[in-house]
Chain A
Amino acid sequence: MHFALSEEQTELDATVRALLERRGDSESVRRAAQSAPGYDTALWSTLCEQIGAAALAVPEEYGGAGFSLFETHVVLERLGYALTPSPLLGSGVLGAQALLRSGNADACARLLPGIAAGTTLAALAWASADGRWHLDRSDVRATDAGAGEARLTGSAHLVLDGTTADVLLVVAVRDAGTVELYEVDSAAEGVHREPMTGLDITLRFARIDLDSAPGRLLCEGAAGLLGELYDVAAVAVTALQVGAAQRGLDMTVAYAKERVQFGRPIGSFQALKHRMADMLVHVETSRTLSWAAAWSAAQGSANLRERAATAKAWCSDALNAVAAETVQLHGGIAITWEHDAHLLFKRAHATSQLFGQPHEQRRRLLGHLRLAAR
């Protein structure tokens, strides 16, 4: 039992932090978010080449670094702190994990080395028009075309980094009614990609419309895989949330120490102190649940479902609370475009919706616990 970062993980965290302090300030974040690809391609290259950000959880046989999702989690938390737009969640976690969990050695060998290097970007096309990631259905239908090939028709919504991805991993319903995972080249005929503009400018979403687009079946029967993928995705989102929550607390405390009213720093007023103390409790408990869930994801533990639901529900609520307090405790400056508080606030809202809202995750947890024999 060692509930803390190892020396190596601490070093990884410090390295990413130092890099983002140099190249991930507010101005760069805004510039990157408003650029065509939606992220700073040079910074992404550095993250991948020098730190191996996208390679950490990819096995060495597929060109990865052979660490685990926990190390990826450490990097995501730092990216979450800086609010840095990056393909790490969409490609490095969702894409890579979908491939790995498909067990398709050929596809892994073809695609993972590029994804691990950050030079190939993958996107997971899954959510339905209702904005949910269903484990048993999809708005895309696949018709077998023989020899593992298929034709896909329909739409996937809220596809993270869908417009920039080179390869799409599409959840589709096969002729027989089973849910399957397909590989689709994003440049193929019949693939149309439409950006979906979100409130949070640091995350990019797309709608993918498929019109008899060619796809390749990755494995037989994706139902189990999707359940795990949903959990892994939810856990990865909590890393961004914990980082953002820590950022909100740090920003607020710094401001409260410096802003003077009635002749003293506002941080000396007990009414405000207590609110910041509560923010810290949110941050600490969030990180605790998020790390525990990341450990389960990294280990493939039997309690992943429970830990993922636990973490996603708690961290979403906590970040929403912290972000709201960040705005309120900063006062008027926080409702300006110039100040970063709104980036944090919007990140809180967006991540809360991704892969299970808090109430959905609590319901999921209850369903799981109801069945679990104790």
Chain B
Amino acid sequence: MNLDLDDRARAFRDEARAWLHEHVPRTPLPNMDTAEGFEAHREWEATLAADRWSVVSWPADYLGRDASLLEWVLFEEEYYRAGAPARVAQNGISLLAPILFEYGTDEQKERYLRPMADGTEIWAQAWSEPEAGSDLAALRSTAVRDDTCGGWILNGQKTWSSRAAFAHRGFGLFRSDPSAERHRGLTYFLFPLDADGVTVRPIHKLDGHPGFAEILFEDVFVPDSDVLGAPGDGWRVAMSTAGNERGLSLRSPGRFCAAADQLLDLWRERGDGSPALGERVADAWIAAQAYRLYTFGTVTRLAEGGSVGADGSVNKIFWSELDVRLHETALDLLGPEAELRDAGAAAGGAWMDGYLFSLSGPIYAGTNEIQRNIVAERLLGLPRGNR
């Protein structure tokens, strides 16, 4: 047991802090789920990349810094503490890139990683379908082999695809062998969202912005060079992203620690001495610390050759429910003002925006009900049963 940072980690953290202090925009960027905000956030990705801060854990060859997992966590803490913009490139960086590094061909890595790292190409995830949400393996979109053209023909419909309204490319699973058992016979494809036969229909989220979209596929041709991993191996390939998404990459503890600190500030300003609210503020602050420290445990395990595995599900349940609780507490501190949406609203309406966003946490990346099944079956060894 040792919770001290060594000199190298501390130097890395200090460098990140200094850079962010200098470069983080003073005024918030427009919402990234608007056309204008999307572009502004892409520019921010380019600014990050120019000084190699967009993908610190990637190899230097691909605009990264070869940062250790611990350094990545520290960077994220600094990032959120500095109030830096949301990451519009997040889905590509945290969900697709780990798979590209593990299963991608050299040519795929060459073609996709750098434009992903500097915000030139934004990626959207195409997993869920209207009839396949929690039961992802029920997906029905198809990929049919076309030997003459050396590729596949995609048909079907994907939905809840974050960033797809404005993104350039997508990645997702398609059923390439209808006769195989449902988890087999799936293939992982990469495709441009402006390809012939692709229709993107934006879906407006409860905040009024097109934060995700439906993607319709009508005889969309994808060459063999855009199959990720082996044909038929898509489930296994995709599940390695699921571990990343739930476990670490998508929701670093820095975000919750920063929000908990802001909540504390809000309580200092507006607590009115209410012990009941004080209790909730303290509880949320403690939970954020728990998540941060739990992550250090995960980082240690990974550094020693372990895997995130089902622990990612513990994480996911914890952070997503914490996020909701934390924002509810903030809204209660703000009172009626929290409901106001005009320019003079408290904290620019940021707490309400955060609250609306937090509602999706227990749903996306595998609902918390699914996560609890995973925890129960894989960590506790409880028998499978009817759902």
Contacts and interface: CB of A to CB of B under 8 A. Distances in A.
Nearest to B369: A274
A362 interface: yes
Contacts of A285: 287, 290-291, 294, 318
Contact of A365 (B286, B301, B376, B381): B286
Contact of B384 (A249, A253, A268): A268
Given A264-B385, A281-B317, A281-B318, A4 B286 contact: no
Interface string A96-138: 0000000000000000000000000000000000000000000
Interface in B110-153: none
B158 to A, nearest CB: 28
Given A1-B70, A289-B286, A314-B290, A277 B380 contact: yes
**Chain A: interface size category:** 35 or more
A310 B2 CA distance: 19
Contacts of A337: none
B268 A281 contact: no
B49 to A, nearest CB: 27
B289 interface: yes
Interface string A42-72: 0000000000000000000000000000100
Contacts of B264: 369
A1 B2 contact: yes
Contacts of A291: 1
Contact of A253 (B70, B369, B382, B386): B382
A363 B5 CA distance: 29
A295 B373 CA distance: 33
The secondary structure that dominates the A interface is: helix
Contact of A1 (B300, B318, B383, B387): B300
A370 B273 CA distance: 12
A9 B381 CA distance: 27
B318 A295 contact: no
B379 interface: yes
A289 B290 CA distance: 6
B283 to A, nearest CB: 6
B67 interface: no
Nearest to B282: A362
A32 to B, nearest CB: 30
Contact of B294 (A265, A268, A288): A288
B98 interface: no
A257 B383 contact: yes
A314 B290 CA distance: 9
A358 B5 CA distance: 30
A5 interface: yes
A281 B71 CA distance: 26
14 contacts: A1-B9, A4-B300, A265-B383, A268-B384, A276-B382, A277-B380, A278-B317, A280-B379, A285-B294, A310-B290, A363-B275, A365-B282, A366-B278, A366-B282
Interface of B: 1-6, 9, 70, 261, 264, 267-268, 275, 278-279, 281-283, 285-287, 289-291, 293-294, 296-297, 299-301, 304, 314, 317-318, 369, 371-373, 375-377, 379-387
